Chains A and B, each alone.
Chain A
């Protein structure tokens, strides 16, 4: 992800406040890019960028871009929030789910989660139709009480996390699901522990699910009832003795994703010398608290 890169509107300052995007603006394509691969010249400006027919943001990069800035202690003053939110709005489909890019892509629960994180971090839910997003989430619950990537699809630890975490960020978790439904989701998630956690019934366990499923259980208040020792031992067994890092399985090649989620999995159980991870926003608790401080300053409630 290109640090600090936003694509911003081509409108001039006098046109800044608009209710809808004018025809020549690219507000609907704004957000963070994943990298500089398009070849647009490097710029950290908040203002209009170079016009390019194929330049646009990606919802996962806008999410991780903002999260990285927050983690680095940035105050987001150089982020064009309006552009990010307009760009996000343009990605939402009728069924409530999101594309990754305005040019079109697949759509599923991953991007619903990314969208929720973006709105949460920018403290502005105008970037999405919450009701439709909620309908999509509810519609994705499976007969077995887990949550799939979309309606009818197999329930999965990753999409279950995305759904529950998104609702948690919206502050709607207890409102949208009844206690009975929440209990059913708890049961589906907690049955995923074999030693570490699996992502789907009858599939092998994988280190990253110690976060996806573990964090979901934490959001549902029952992570405390899992077996910490077996989980911990599994995660540590996937560590690479030579180069470090974690892999999905023991004696497999480590990669950044499993290294990160392995550490998060350990953080959830309270492993010593690790910061606590925020189970919904997937940043450190420390960064989360800094974000809350930022929000207070924006709302003018900070002394």
Chain B
């Protein structure tokens, strides 16, 4: 259909055109110019969102299609700005017609730093096409403030976007900015919990949560929340991390009561005890012999070697036995590593000649470690 025909069609339809204020923002945003038969329009919009190319011609059967910005008369004052990739573009992106059109107009608004409601509306469309475009988000924030937009409504908007794209950096940052402006975190913990209920390890969600807790001092119910998550999945490392975060911010770990409580919880799960730590672990070793438990034992022995003077040969022997057990049987994927750990312990703590010292073994790139006079245990 020719341009002249289009223009005249639009002019002829002007009698049917209702003032913009009567059209809900959502519909205006999508370029819907008329208000009747709205529900069928929604179905059509869903189709175009799924990637079907829209046609620019006017369709008399269904007049409620998407209209490009270049064809909208209320945008005629603005000269679209194309993307300039120069003479030899590389990894050239095949933008859709709709994408190019929206962003040609976004670039025009940006260049003029236009602060208007139509600009604000367009940012939502630009975001829908690429929610990772941080420039669009920044511009939207500028407009939110310049136009004194309703931030509660913005919270509803950003909530929907995050639900749809919970692993996008820009949307979480935007939410944080709006929460800061409102100085109102009251919806946050519930919202984040909802996101975590869909993916209990979403790093963005946890990061936002930690910011909220710290900024607004909302610690009171967090431990309970963590316990609920650990009940659902005791292996959720994000929840364990959060447990540490909450406790370290609410208390001092040097408080023996706190330490004992944490240890008791672990003990109830059959893991460890602080006084008599070693004995407890050794007991557990018989029934719950995991690489983590054995590695923990090696570390305890190493701590003992580090901090105790005098003959440590027995301790060293036990540590080396564990390294061998891990290498040969309990954690074979890391066989070479456990042999390395054993060698390092041997080199460092072989005590047959008290005057020998050695630096940490094999840590410098390309340099050999210092070897030590060796006798007894050390002679392997």
Binding site for B on A (CB under 8 A): 2-3, 35-42, 52-54, 58, 100-101, 103-106, 142-144, 148-150, 152-156, 174, 179-180, 182-183, 187, 190-191, 193-195, 200-203, 220-222, 224-227, 230
Does the CB pair B81–A103 fall under 8 Å? no
A-B contact pairs, 16 of them (CB 8 A): A36-B83, A54-B110, A54-B135, A101-B138, A105-B170, A152-B245, A153-B206, A153-B210, A179-B363, A182-B360, A183-B360, A191-B295, A193-B333, A201-B235, A201-B237, A202-B236
Q: Is the CB of B333 within 8 A of A227?
A: yes
Tell me whether B81 and A54 are in contact (CB under 8 A): no
B204 smallest CB distance to A (angstroms): 9
Top 4 nearest A-B pairs (CB, nearest first) are A42-B86, A39-B107, A225-B336, A225-B337
User: Is A187 within 8 A of B295, CB to CB?
Assistant: yes
A221 CA / B367 CA spacing, docked (Å): 10
Q: Is the CB of B363 within 8 A of A182?
A: yes
The CA-CA distance from A142 to B170 in the complex, in Å, is: 25
Q: How far is the CA of A155 from the CA of B241 in the complex (A)?
A: 8
- Tier of interface size on chain B: 35 or more
Quick check: A54 and B363 within 8 Å, CB to CB? no
B337 to chain A: closest CB distance in Å? 4
Cα distance A194–B333 when bound, in Å?
Answer: 8
Given contacts A39-B111, A42-B84, A42-B86, contact A179 B360 (CB under 8 A): yes
Judging by beta carbons under 8 Å apart, are A36 and B85 in contact? Answer: yes
Query: Looking across the interface, which residue of chain A has its beta carbon closest to that of B244?
Result: A143
Option from A39, A52, A101 in Cβ contact (under 8 Å) with B83:
A39
B residues in contact with A104, CB < 8 Å:
138
Q: Once the chains bind, are B90 and A203 in contact (CB under 8 Å)?
A: no
Instruction: Given A36-B85, A106-B172, decide whether A54 and B90 contact each other with a Cβ distance below 8 A.
Output: no
Bound form: Cα–Cα A129–B259 in Å: 37
B357 to A: closest C-beta gap in Å: 13
- B102-113 contact mask (Cβ, 8 Å, vs A): 1 or 0: 010001101101
Verify if B152 is at the interface (C-beta below 8 Å from A): no
Write out the residue numbers on chain A whose beta carbons fall within 8 Å of the beta carbon of B90. 3
Whether the pair A203, B334 counts as a contact (CB closer than 8 A) is no
Query: Within the assembled complex, what's the spacing in Å between the Cα atoms of A53 and B333?
Result: 55
Q: Mark B236-251, 1 if CB is under 8 A from A, else 0.
A: 1110010011001100
Q: How far is the CA of A40 from the CA of B327 in the complex (A)?
A: 60
Chain A residues within 8 Å of B363, by CB: 174, 179, 182, 220-221
Answer whether A106 and B169 are a contact pair too, CB < 8 Å, given A52-B111, A153-B206, A187-B295. Answer: yes
**Inside 8 A of B203's CB, which chain A residues have their CB?**
149, 153-154, 156
* B334–A190 touching, CB < 8 Å: yes
CA A155 – CA B201 in complex, angstroms?
12
A75 to B111, CA, bound (A): 33
The answer for the CA separation of A35 and B81 in the assembled complex, in Å, is: 15
Nearest-Cβ distance from residue A195 to partner chain B, whole angstroms: 8
Q: Which residues of A contact B335 (CB under 8 A)?
A: 227
* Cβ contact of B336, chosen from A39, A42, A155, A226, cutoff 8 A: A226
Instruction: Choose among B138, B206, B336 the residue that contacts A103 (Cβ–Cβ < 8 A).
Output: B138
- When the two chains form their complex, are residues B110 and A39 in contact, meaning their CB atoms are under 8 A apart? yes
Q: Is the C-beta of B61 less than 8 angstroms from some C-beta in chain A?
A: no
Most chain A CB within 10 A, of B245, B333, B362, is at B333
Q: Which residue of A lies closest to B207 (CB)?
A: A153
For the complex, what is the distance from the CA of A144 to the CA of B237, rounded to whole Å? Answer: 10
Question: A103 to chain B: which residues have CB within 8 Å?
Answer: 134, 138
A151 to B206 alpha-carbon distance, docked (Å):
13
Q: Is the CB of A40 within 8 A of B84?
A: yes
Q: Are A225 and B110 in contact (CB under 8 A)?
A: no
Give Cα A42 to B83, complex, Å.
9
Q: How far, in angstroms, from A37 to B249 measured CA to CA in the complex?
A: 43
A22 → chain B, closest Cβ, in Å? 22
A39, B84: Cβ atoms closer than 8 Å: yes
Within 8 A of A (CB), among B169-187: 169-170, 172-173
By beta carbon, the residue of chain B nearest A168 is B365
Tell whether A105 pairs with B110 under 8 Å between CB atoms, given A37-B135, A42-B86.
no
CB within 8 Å of A: which of B121-141?
A: 133-135, 138-139
B56 at the interface (CB under 8 A from A): no
A180 to B238, CA, bound (A): 25
Given A41-B84, A179-B360, residue A154 in contact with residue B135 (CB < 8 A): no
**Quick one: given A36-B86, A39-B84, are A227 and B334 in contact (CB under 8 Å)?**
yes
Cα A154 to Cα B335 in complex, Å, equals 27
A225 near B207 with CB under 8 A, answer no
Min CB gap B163→A, angstroms: 19
Question: Are B113 and A106 in contact (CB-based, < 8 A)?
Answer: no
User: B225 in the interface, Cβ–Cβ < 8 Å?
Assistant: no
Which residues of B sit under 8 angstroms from A40, Cβ to Cβ?
Answer: 84
Of residues 72 through 96 on chain B, the ones whose CB sits less than 8 Å from some CB of chain A are 81-87, 90
Are B206 and A225 in contact, with the CB atoms below 8 A?
no
Closest to A184 in B: B299
B334 touches A154 (CB 8 A): no
- Check B340 for interface membership: any CB of A closer than 8 A: yes
**A residues in contact with B236, CB < 8 Å:** 202
